[in-house]
Amino acid sequence: MRLSTATTADTVLAQLQRLSRQQADLQSKVATGQRITKPSDDPAAVARVIAAQMERSSVTQYARNADAALEYSKTSYAGLQQFKKISDRAGELAVLGTGSIGPDAMRAYAAEVNQLLEQAASQGNTRFGRDYVFSGNAVDTAPYSLARDVNGRITAATYAGDTGRLTVPLADGASIQPTLDAATNTGLADFMNQLVALRDALQAGNVAATQATRVGLESSENLLVGSLSEHGAIQLRIEVAQAQQTSRLSELTRQISNEAEIDLPSVIVRLNQTTQSYEAALSSSATLLKMSLLDYLR
C-alpha cells in the first residue's frame, strides 16, 4: 500500500514542526535557566514553587523584623550600659560623701553628681531613628520630663512615656520585646531623682542624708543589672532566630531552584540531540518531498 504524496508531506511537516518546537523550548530553557515557563509545563511543581515562594517572602519579612529588633535591643542595651556607668560612679561618690571630708570636697562631689544627672537625663531621652528608646509604645513622646530651678539645675524627673512595650514577630506564633519594660523605664526616673537627692545632700554637706541615698542607689543598681541581663538574653534569642531564618531561606531557595531551574548539562545534551534530529529530518524531507507520482511509475 502506497501513501499519497499529500499524506507524506503532512506527516513530514508535522514531524518537523514537533522537532522545531522541541528545539525552541530547549533553547529557551538554556537561555533562561528555567524549567517551567508556564503553569501547564508542570502544574504540581508550579504549586510547590508558589508555596515555597510565599513562605520565603514571609521568612524574609521575619528576617527584616529580627534585624530591626536587634538594633532596638542593642540601642536599649547601650543606653542601660551608660546608666550603669553613671550608677557606679554615683555609688562611689555616695560612699566618699560619708567619709571624713571637708565642705569643699562635698561641694566638688555635688558638682560631679550634677553632671552625672545631666548625663542621665540626656541618655534617658535617647532616640533610635525618630523613636524615643525609653518611652514604651509612646515613641513620639520624650520619656523623661525634667523640672529645673532658677539656676537651671534639674530638681525632679518624671516619666512621661507609657507602660507598653514594642513587640516584634520573629516567626509564626513567636515574637520578642526588644525594648525596656515599664518597670525599668519608670525606674530610670527614680534613679535620676536619687541623683538629685545625692547632689543636694552633698551640696549641703549633710552626711546623714548622703548615707540615706545609698539604699535607693543600690536598688537602682540592681534594676539596671537585671535589665542588662534580660537584654543579653533577648539579643541571644534574636540572633538564634536570625540563624534559623538564614538557614530556612537557603533551604527554600534550594527547593525553588530544584523545582524551577534546569539541569543545564542534561538540557544541553537534549538540545544537541534535538538539533541533530531536526537537521536530519530537514535533509530527509527535502529529498522525500521532491518525489512525485512519476517517480513511482518508473
Residue 189 covered by a domain: yes
Chain mean position to CA 241: 10
Residue 5 covered by a domain: no
Residue 213 covered by a domain: yes
User: 27-41, 46-60, 65-79, 100-114: which has the minimum mean pLDDT?
Assistant: 27-41
Query: How far apart are alpha carbons 295 and 298 in whole angstroms?
Result: 6
User: 68 exposed, middle or buried (CB, 10 Å; 0-12, 13-18, 19+)?
Assistant: middle
Residue 63 covered by a domain: yes
What is the pLDDT at residue 258?
75
Looking only at Cα atoms, what is the longest distance across the chain?
137
Residue 283 covered by a domain: no
What is the pLDDT at residue 279?
59
Print the domain residue range for 82.
50-254
Number of domains in the chain: 1
Phi, psi of 127 (to 5 degrees): -110, 150
Question: Which amino acid does the sequence have at 54?
Answer: M
**Confidence label for 49 from pLDDT (cuts 50, 70 and 90):** confident
Please identify which residue in the block is written with the cell numbers 529557551.
Answer: 28
What is the pLDDT at residue 12?
61
3-state secondary structure of 231: helix
Instruction: Please report, for the domain that includes residue 245, its CATH number.
Output: 1.20.1330.10
Q: Which residue, among 161, 133, 145, has the nearest Cα to 231 in the 3D structure?
A: 133
Residue 264 has pLDDT above 50, yes or no: no
> Which residues, 6+ apart, have CB-to-CB distance to 172 below 8 Å?
58
Q: Which residue, among 48, 72, 55, has the nearest Cα to 129 in the 3D structure?
A: 72
Query: How far apart are alpha carbons 161 and 140 in whole angstroms?
Result: 9
**Average of per-residue pLDDT across 171-199:** 94
Residue 25 covered by a domain: no
Residue 27 covered by a domain: no
Question: Which amino acid does the sequence have at 283?
Answer: S
Residue 145 has pLDDT above 60, yes or no: yes
Residue 230 covered by a domain: yes
pLDDT in tens, 71-125: 999 999 999 999 999 999 999 999 999 887 888 999 999 999 999 999 999 999 9
Q: Which three cell numbers stand for residue 115?
A: 553632671
* DSSP class per residue in 48-82: HHHHHHHHHHHHHHHHHHHHHHHHHHHHHHHHHHH
